[in-house]
Amino acid sequence: MRLDPITGWLDTARIEPSPNFDQRPTGAEPECIILHCISLPPGEYGQDYITRFFLNTLPTAAHPYFAGIANLKVSAHFLIDRLGNVTQFVSTYDRAWHAGESVCLQRPRVNDFSIGIELEGLDTDPNGFTDAQYMALNPLIATLKTAHPKINDTQLFSHSDIAPTRKPDPGPYFDWQRVFAR
């Protein structure tokens, strides 16, 4: 697994460029990783709806929940599905739209200096996340830390860490020990 030092794209990921990104501010670079979880529709896994959501092609007629989110413009740098497959939507050199209104490292505008990783899952699902997801997540984190040296072991956060009154993910069933034990 290698991140291209020129383009910021991962050589082993499926690439699905999202239109939902922009340039980081001048001088800004990744300093932390934010972990999220998502399932579409909520609690259902294994479909392409997350990818289609990040590509602005979500079919609103496919599920009643989609009508309320179809006009949102969001993305993440990476998605790890339940099988451990990694999809990249935004170069790590660009700003993905994953953190929303939040504060991290005592600074707002977290998208400016973070990399967002979505895990296919639901914060209230007691089945949590799969072995395959942890097996994909750990080398991805290691690769990102090597490519972006401002990211260190203490700069891995949950969405709930940076927006505690707004977001609960990845939730109580995410096993942080499986990440920190790497």
Taking the CA atoms of the chain, what radius of gyration do you get in angstroms?
15
Q: Looking at the predicted structure, is the pLDDT value of residue 18 above 80?
A: yes
pLDDT value of position 45: 96
The percent of residues in the chain predicted with pLDDT above 90, rounded, is 93
Task: Out of 29, 31, 101, 118, pick the active-site residue.
Answer: 118
Q: Looking at the predicted structure, is the pLDDT value of residue 151 above 90?
A: yes
pLDDT value of position 153: 85
- Please give the CATH superfamily to which domain 14-180 belongs: Peptidoglycan recognition protein-like (3.40.80.10)
pLDDT value of position 182: 59
Active site residue 29: no
pLDDT value of position 56: 97
Q: Looking at the predicted structure, is the pLDDT value of residue 29 above 90?
A: yes
SS3 per residue for 87-141? EECCCCCEEECCCCCCEECCEECHHHHEEEEEEECCCCCCCCCCHHHHHHHHHHH
